[in-house]
Chain A
């Protein structure tokens, strides 16, 4: 339709991006081989979480923020719990803290297996869905489902259920499982660990589009453990290194002229990348030895840091890590005497973050003297990645212009999926610009 126009302009529109969690669309305009506009639009309905929690008891808040996202409820629970515990000065019992890591490990295994096998692998292998993929490669999909199931079961044992677990409270957990209940999970995890290694070997053979670009990778880092819900907020190039609560000193949520979206940027206006590629790069030293070896075997460490498509390998590495760490936690587990530490409410404010499977989820909470919430700020990982996704789209689009339109569109979607965007999490992340021209 545009071929007869004096200037060659192509428009890529994907009105509903599929195989992502939530609803978004892509609008990319290319003029004379140059990308003039790249916009990822979120049409997730506003849900007003930051207002819904005002006036609530912190324990109720933990249940509510889980509902921001059905895929990564733990990220929201742990970030909020960390902030409240910082305000009230609570130190969680080490065994209970290990259980929280175990619960979160279940979420990683579930989320990454879902993304690798059901959402992202079909892109690399040329299928529209995992169901189509299963018609030709049933055992591959079954392996993915089996891994995913172990993650879900782990969440159910520690958290009650896989989606919106019920066990997290300020100061610890409501209920601690018996050692026997955890040991019952061990055989499945041992199998899962082998499957996770096979998964990494499998995805390492994929052909990723050659798209390398400089980027700033950001995640939490903790000297003694793979980053999850503690440590400092750092970048891989060393330019950022602040306490976990100080996100605001480095970043801000920005009203971006022309897109009317709240994107997070550095104060200098730069984009950055969160998620598995960032963590694997930044916290390589904290990876479980088994996962470190597996990563080394792939030889992809450098690619992961530079090419967003290789996030699939980073997810594979983290699958190995969390299966191995879960086994270690179970082996060392002794049922704690009390599931939670009682706390005294007070007025205060604190920021806290935790690493959702798709990147750092950062919160800031304020409470009154009864400990009830007076104010909340919730910055989901995808709203932080959005700027980088759009930048990558601008950089990547020219390389697919020669392809047939449908194939080019598919490649662009594949790039977006590399970030595992969780659009449902858009608590206040909403791009309402509609290009009607």
Chain B
């Protein structure tokens, strides 16, 4: 009676770019649901978990990691061609991740400081979110992504509805949970007011400030919060550095870092705008 109950199992791929593997591990961390999910979804590409390989086509592909090498650039375009729905998972794929903090610095200097033979290291001048290069159909935020949100995404995929992924501030979840604001009651700088919820307001529950791993929420007034941190006694570059974490390259945070300072490898107060590779091959 109701349409679309017996469609074939969707083909899912998991693809990794520059990342720590933690977000795809979250798929394996769905312990209670993992085998049920595997019965309903055809996991055709997931090298961390299975030796079966497929280069597509995919109904849905989950992309972890930032685009930071020429090879990854080729990969992401190839994956986009093969994927009906491309979903970025985690802070690296959605915002560039921690490695995007190098985008303010001189890439060659960075490379030379870490590698004895920088000439052998192939990497792009910047590490950027996937959406800077190809069209992205959906995203799961977080460093790492949240298991409940991942399961909700899968459930929505299987039941044909929109995933219920609120874009409100961490504060909303924090207050529903009955936590006391660490910023107001203890003077601890907290990115919760400008950060998207999804973690369950984890850090304030552990007596520390949110460090923004789900990235800016909609219309994040990061500049006002940065000014408040300074008013609370932080030096401007320190205030900027609080934003220069796992999602610091996402625009409203990026602007605060550029304005206040705090990017690695850049003297305080001298932060230029981050480098951008533009959109070399077709763009979004």
Complex A–B touching at CB under 8 A: yes
Contact B48 A21 (CB under 8 A): yes
Q: Given A16, A52, A132, A149, which contacts B31 in the complex, CB threshold below 8 Å?
A: A149
Residues in chain A near residue B123, CB distance under 8 A = 45-46
Q: Given A18, A21, A46, A131, which contacts B121 in the complex, CB threshold below 8 Å?
A: A46
| Distance between Cα atoms of A79 and B276 in the complex (Å) | 34
Contacting residues of chain B (10-49) with chain A, CB-CB under 8 angstroms: 16-23, 25-26, 28-29, 31-32, 34-35, 38, 43, 47-49
Contact B207 A339 (CB under 8 A): yes
Residues in chain B near residue A314, CB distance under 8 A = none
What total of chain B residues lie within 8 Å of the partner, measured CB to CB? 65
Q: Per-residue 0/1 for A1-21: is the Cβ within 8 Å of any B Cβ (1 yes, 0 no)?
A: 000000000000000111111
Q: How close is A132's CB to chain B, nearest CB, in angstroms?
A: 7
Contact B121 A432 (CB under 8 A): yes
B56 within 8 A of A: no
Residues in chain B near residue A16, CB distance under 8 A = 47, 53
* Nearest residue, chain A, Cβ from B265: A51
Count class of interface residues, chain A: 35 or more
* Nearest residue, chain A, Cβ from B117: A260
Contacting residues of chain A (126-169) with chain B, CB-CB under 8 angstroms: 128-132, 134, 138, 141-142, 145-146, 148-149, 152, 160-164, 166-167, 169
Contact B21 A63 (CB under 8 A): no
| Distance between Cα atoms of A19 and B53 in the complex (Å) | 11
Contacting residues of chain A (33-51) with chain B, CB-CB under 8 angstroms: 43-51
* Nearest residue, chain A, Cβ from B23: A70
A175 within 8 A of B: yes
Contact B208 A166 (CB under 8 A): yes
B1 within 8 A of A: no
The verdict on A54 contacting B265 (CB below 8 Å), with A45-B18, A260-B120, A262-B116 known, is yes
Q: Per-residue 0/1 for A154-198: is the Cβ within 8 Å of any B Cβ (1 yes, 0 no)?
A: 000000111110110100001100000000000000000000000
Q: How close is B21's CB to chain A, nearest CB, in angstroms?
A: 5
Contacting residues of chain B (65-95) with chain A, CB-CB under 8 angstroms: 65, 68-69, 71-72
The verdict on A54 contacting B264 (CB below 8 Å), with A45-B18, A129-B49, A129-B51 known, is yes
Residues in chain A near residue B241, CB distance under 8 A = 55-57, 60
| Distance between Cα atoms of A433 and B208 in the complex (Å) | 44
B245 within 8 A of A: yes
Contact B202 A161 (CB under 8 A): yes
* Nearest residue, chain B, Cβ from A138: B35
12 contacts between A and B (CB under 8 A): A44-B18, A47-B98, A53-B264, A55-B241, A129-B51, A134-B35, A134-B38, A160-B203, A163-B22, A174-B206, A175-B208, A427-B114
B: residues with CB less than 8 A from A are 16-23, 25-26, 28-29, 31-32, 34-35, 38, 43, 47-53, 65, 68-69, 71-72, 97-99, 101-102, 105, 110-111, 113-117, 120-123, 127, 143-144, 199, 202-203, 205-208, 211, 213, 238, 241, 245-246, 264-265
